[in-house]
C-alpha cells in the first residue's frame, strides 16, 4: 500500500509540473527605438530564473541571441548577434542593429536558452538624401499607471501607418500607491509597484518593469519604434539640475537618486544616450534624428541642465546671481546645439521634441475656485497674477528670447515644437511679441498632445467635461491671441502627419481611463502650412482612425 501511495504521489507531482506554466524569460516584451537610415536600437529584458526579478540583483549572466529579418517567420535573417547580460544591468539587453536598409520595415526577436521572445516590428528612417512624400508619427506623453489603463497605446498599436512613436516624457511616475491616481480622490485604478515612492536604483528598475508588463504598452513597443525623452517624473516631480520639489532630505542624496533614475532609464528604454546604445555610460539625452530631406527631429532634455525654478512666480524675470537673467532651462551646450539645428538649409521641417511648453501664456483673473485645479493640471495660474509658469519656458524667458531671436535673425521657417507635460491639448503660434500679436511675426508653432492618463482639469474638479474648463480656456485664449486651440478635459493621443506642404496634428480622445477597453474617437486637427509659421484649423484627420 505504501509503495502504491508513493507512486500516486509521484505521478500527481509530475502531473502538476506538466500543468504548471513554463517559466517565461521575456516577461517585459520587446522594443525598438531611435531609428536611423541604417540602424535601429533593439531592446528586451531577460528573466533567466524565477528569482531574477527586476531590481533584485539576482540571477546568472546569460548569453542572448538577437535576429533581424525581413519577414515575420524569419526565413530571411539579415542581421544576427549575441550579447551577454546579467544583474549588473538588470538583465536588460540593448543593441544597435546596423547595416540595415533605409526606410524598410523589419522584424526582430531574441533567444535565450532555447526560449524565443515575442516578435517585434520596427522601421528604419529614410535615407538622408531621400525626399519622402510623407511621414507620420504617434505623439504621446504623461502616462500614469495608477490613473488608468493605457488605451491610447492600444489604439496607436493598431495602426500600421506610423514611422515611429514620439514619447515626450513622463513615461512613468514616481509616486507610491494612493499618492497620485484617478481623479480628485486620487484613487488607484491599479497601484504602483513597489508600493512606495521610488528612490533607489532597485526601485526605479522595478517601476520600469511594472510599466512594461502593461499589455497595451507592450503591444505598442512591439509594433513601432519609439523616440523618447524624459520630463520630470522619470526622476521626481519638478526636478532641476541639483534638486526637485518632490525630494526631501530624508530620501537621501538627490544626486544619487537622479543617477539611479537615469541609469534605470538607460537600461530599460530603447534609446541612444550619448550617441550609443551601450547601457550604463550614457549621460546626454538630447539628440537629433533625420528623416531624409523632409524633416529633422531634435529631442530636448529640459530637466538635467536647467537652473532651479523660481521659488514663486513673479511678473518679471527673476534674476540669477550670475547676472541679470532668469536662469537656463537648456544649459549653454544644449541651447547652442539647438540653435545649430534650427538653421536655414538642411531638412525642410524642423521638429523639436519639447518636454514642457514654450509658448508664452499670460492671463487675466481666473475665478478663485478654479485656480488650484488648473495649477494641478498645468501650473499656469499663480494667485498673484504672474504671467508665466516657472516650470516651463515661461520661467526661463532669456533662453526663449535667445532662441526666438536666432530663428528670426536667421530667417528660419517651418519650425514646429511638439510638446507634452501639461495634460491638455494646445495649438499655438509662437509670437516674437505676445503683447502685440498678431501684428508681429511668429517664430513657429507649438502642438501640445494630451495626457495618456494623467489627471486633467475635469478630473481634478470632479465636474463634467466642457463645463468649468470652458471658462478657463476662454480667459487664457482671450488674453493670448496666439493660442488657437485649448482643451483641458480629454485624454488620448495624437498623430502627426508631415508632408512638404504642411504639418498636421490630429487629436484623438479615449473614453473613461478606468475602462481598460475604452474606445477612441477623433477630436480635432490643426496644421501649419509651409512658410507660414502659424497654425490653422483643419476639418478632418489624415488617414485612419
Q: What is the DSSP string of 207-241?
A: HHHHHTT-HHHHHHHHHS-EEE---STTT-TTEET
Q: Give the three-class secondary structure for 81.
A: strand
Task: Examine domains 20-123 and 135-538 and report if their fold is the same.
Answer: no
Q: Record the pTM.
A: 0.92
What pLDDT, on a 0 to 100 scale, did the predictor assign at position 2?
Answer: 43
Which residue, 380, 375, 239, 399, is CA-closest to 317?
Answer: 399
pLDDT at 324: 43
Does pLDDT of 285 surpass 60? Answer: yes
18 — pLDDT class (breaks 50, 70, 90):
very low
239 neighbors 232 (Cβ within 8 angstroms): yes
How much is the average pLDDT of 134-139?
98
Mean pLDDT score of the chain: 90
Angle, CA of 443, 444 and 449, to the nearest 5° = 140
What was the pLDDT predicted at 179?
Answer: 95
pLDDT category at 379 given cuts 50, 70, 90 is: low
Contacts of 46 (CB under 8 A, 6+ apart): 25, 26, 62, 64, 85, 91, 92, 93, 110, 112
- Residue 12, pLDDT above cutoff 60: no
Can you tell me the mean pLDDT for 264-286? 86
Tell me the percentage of the chain whose pLDDT exceeds 70: 88
Confidence of residue 390 (pLDDT cuts 50, 70, 90): confident
In which band, very low, low, confident or very high, does the pLDDT at 381 lie, cut at 50, 70 and 90?
A: low
The confidence score (pLDDT) of residue 131 equals 97
20-123, superfamily in CATH?
A: Purple acid phosphatase-like, N-terminal (2.60.40.380)
* pLDDT score for 14: 44
From 107-116, 202-211, 455-464, the region with the lowest mean pLDDT: 455-464
Write the Ramachandran bin of 148: left for phi over 0, alpha for psi from -120 to 50, otherwise beta: left
Q: What is the mean pLDDT of residues 45-54?
A: 98
Residue reference for cell 532669456: 398
C-alpha cell recorded at residue 545:
482612425
Domain boundaries, the chain: 20-123, 135-538
Distance CA 322, CA 506 (A): 43
Query: Can you tell me the mean pLDDT for 218-235?
Result: 98
Q: Give kind and range of the element (H or E) at residue 458.
A: helix 457-461
**How confident is the model over 63-82, as a mean pLDDT?**
98
Residue 543 pLDDT: 75
Give residue 311's pLDDT. 66
The per-residue pLDDT for 429 is 98
What is the per-residue pLDDT for 301? 98
Q: What is the CATH number of domain 135-538?
A: 3.60.21.70
Size of the chain in residues: 545
pLDDT at 283: 82
Amino acid at each position: 500500500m505504501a509503495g502504491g501511495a508513493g507512486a500516486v504521489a509521484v505521478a500527481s507531482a509530475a502531473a502538476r509540473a506538466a500543468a504548471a506554466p513554463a517559466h517565461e524569460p521575456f516577461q517585459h516584451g520587446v522594443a525598438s527605438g531611435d531609428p536611423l537610415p541604417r540602424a535601429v536600437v533593439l531592446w528586451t529584458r531577460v528573466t533567466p530564473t524565477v528569482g531574477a526579478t527586476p531590481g533584485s540583483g539576482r540571477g546568472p549572466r546569460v548569453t542572448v541571441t538577437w535576429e533581424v529579418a525581413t519577414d515575420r517567420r524569419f526565413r530571411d535573417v539579415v542581421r544576427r548577434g549575441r550579447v551577454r547580460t546579467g544583474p549588473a544591468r538588470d538583465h536588460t539587453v540593448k543593441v544597435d542593429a546596423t547595416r540595415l536598409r533605409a526606410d524598410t520595415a523589419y522584424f526582430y526577436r531574441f533567444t535565450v536558452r532555447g526560449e524565443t521572445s515575442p516578435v517585434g516590428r520596427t522601421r528604419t528612417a529614410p535615407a538622408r538624401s531621400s525626399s519622402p512624400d510623407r511621414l507620420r508619427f504617434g505623439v504621446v506623453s504623461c502616462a500614469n499607471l495608477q490613473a488608468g489603463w493605457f488605451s491610447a497605446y492600444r489604439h496607436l498599436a493598431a495602426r500600421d501607418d506610423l514611422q515611429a512613436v514620439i514619447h515626450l516624457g513622463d513615461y512613468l511616475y514616481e509616486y507610491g500607491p494612493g499618492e497620485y491616481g484617478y481623479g480628485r480622490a486620487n484613487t488607484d485604478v491599479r497601484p504602483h509597484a513597489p508600493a512606495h515612492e521610488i528612490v533607489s536604483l532597485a526601485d526605479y528598475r522595478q517601476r520600469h518593469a511594472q510599466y512594461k508588463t502593461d499589455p497595451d504598452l507592450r503591444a505598442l513597443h512591439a509594433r513601432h519604434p519609439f523616440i523618447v525623452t524624459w520630463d520630470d517624473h522619470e526622476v521626481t516631480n519638478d526636478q532641476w539640475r541639483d534638486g526637485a520639489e518632490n525630494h526631501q532630505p530624508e530620501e537621501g542624496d538627490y544626486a544619487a537618486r537622479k543617477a539611479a533614475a537615469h541609469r534605470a532609464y538607460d537600461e530599460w528604454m530603447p534609446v541612444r544616450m550619448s550617441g550609443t546604445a551601450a547601457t550604463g555610460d550614457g549621460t546626454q539625452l538630447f539628440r537629433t534624428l533625420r528623416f531624409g530631406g523632409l524633416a529633422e527631429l531634435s529631442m530636448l532634455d529640459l530637466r538635467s541642465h536647467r537652473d532651479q525654478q523660481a521659488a514663486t512666480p513673479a511678473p518679471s524675470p527673476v534674476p540669477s546671481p550670475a547676472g541679470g537673467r532668469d536662469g537656463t532651462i537648456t544649459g549653454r551646450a544644449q541651447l547652442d546645439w539647438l540653435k545649430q539645428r534650427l538653421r536655414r538649409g538642411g531638412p525642410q521641417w524642423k521638429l523639436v521634441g519639447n518636454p514642457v511648453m514654450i509658448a508664452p501664456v499670460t492671463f487675466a483673473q481666473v475665478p478663485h475656485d478654479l485656480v488650484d485645479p488648473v495649477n494641478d493640471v498645468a501650473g499656469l495660474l499663480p494667485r498673484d497674477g504672474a504671467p508665466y509658469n516657472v516650470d516651463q519656458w515661461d520661467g526661463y524667458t532669456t533662453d526663449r528670447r535667445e532662441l526666438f531671436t536666432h530663428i528670426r535673425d536667421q530667417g528660419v521657417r517651418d519650425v514646429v515644437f511638439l510638446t507634452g507635460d501639461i495634460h491638455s491639448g494646445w495649438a499655438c503660434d509662437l509670437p516674437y511679441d505676445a503683447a502685440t500679436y498678431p501684428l508681429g511675426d511668429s517664430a513657429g508653432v507649438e502642438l501640445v498632445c494630451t495626457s495618456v492618463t494623467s489627471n486633467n482639469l475635469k478630473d481634478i474638479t470632479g465636474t463634467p467635461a466642457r463645463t468649468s474648463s470652458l471658462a478657463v480656456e476662454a480667459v487664457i485664449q482671450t488674453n493670448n491671441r496666439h493660442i488657437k486651440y485649448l482643451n483641458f478635459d480629454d485624454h488620448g493621443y495624437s498623430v502627426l502627419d508631415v508632408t512638404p506642404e504642411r504639418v498636421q496634428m490630429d487629436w484623438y480622445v479615449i473614453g473613461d481611463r478606468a475602462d481598460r477597453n475604452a474606445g477612441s474617437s477623433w477630436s480635432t486637427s490643426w496644421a501649419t502650412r509651409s512658410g507660414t509659421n502659424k497654425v490653422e484649423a483643419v476639418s478632418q484627420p489624415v488617414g485612419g482612425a
